[in-house]
């Protein structure tokens, strides 16, 4: 009962928080670079993510268009992504530390 009330209050707060997040703010919220964000929204890109929030056109015409995202959608995506990563970590167990290639000093036999 209490959990349902908390969820309802949260939904109401999200509905009231119709703030637009500009593209320059997105990296600090999502932890992704600007180019990664653009790849996630670009259909046909190998990194396209259909679960990523769709941008809103803020103005401009032609090729240069200002875009932004609704804050509550971005927060929802970040929370969902965190749940996916947490579940993935639980499935894999402790993270193995494996380097894909040796460090430059490992080839020469030099030790620190």
Does position 17 have pLDDT exceeding 80, yes or no?
A: no
For 60-99, how does the pLDDT look when each residue is reduced to its tens digit (9 = 90+)?
A: 777 778 899 999 899 999 999 888 877 777 666 555 555 5
55 backbone dihedrals φ, ψ, rounded to 5°: -75, 160
How far apart are the C-alpha atoms of 57 and 39, rounded to whole Å? 17
Query: Virtual CA dihedral for 2, 75, 12, 10, nearest 10 degrees?
Result: 10
Residue with tokens 């000093």: 105
Where does the pLDDT of residue 55 fall: very low under 50, low under 70, confident under 90, or very high at 90 and above?
very high
Whether residue 14 has pLDDT greater than 60: yes
Does the pLDDT of residue 100 top 60, yes or no? Answer: no
- SS3 per residue for 20-63: EEECCCHHHHHCCCHHHHHHHHCCCCCCCCCCCCCCEEEEEECC
Asked whether residue 39 carries a pLDDT value surpassing 70, the answer given is yes
Q: Any residues with CB less than 8 A from the CB of 51 and at least 6 apart, and which? A: 77, 80
* Residue 72 CB contacts under 8 Å (≥ 6 apart), including other chains: 14, 15, 17, 18
Mean pLDDT of all residues belonging to the chain: 79
């Amino acid at each position: 009962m209490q959990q349902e009330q908390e969820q309802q209050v949260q939904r109401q707060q999200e509905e009231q928080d119709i703030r637009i997040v500009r593209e320059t703010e997105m990296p600090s919220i999502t932890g992704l670079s600007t180019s990664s964000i653009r790849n996630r929204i670009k259909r046909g890109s190998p990194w396209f993510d259909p679960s990523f929030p769709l941008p809103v056109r803020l103005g401009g015409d032609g090729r240069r268009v200002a875009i932004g995202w609704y804050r509550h959608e971005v927060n929802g995506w970040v929370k969902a992504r965190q749940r996916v990563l947490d579940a993935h970590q639980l499935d894999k167990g402790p993270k193995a530390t494996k380097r894909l290639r040796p460090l430059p000093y490992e080839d020469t036999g030099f030790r620190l």
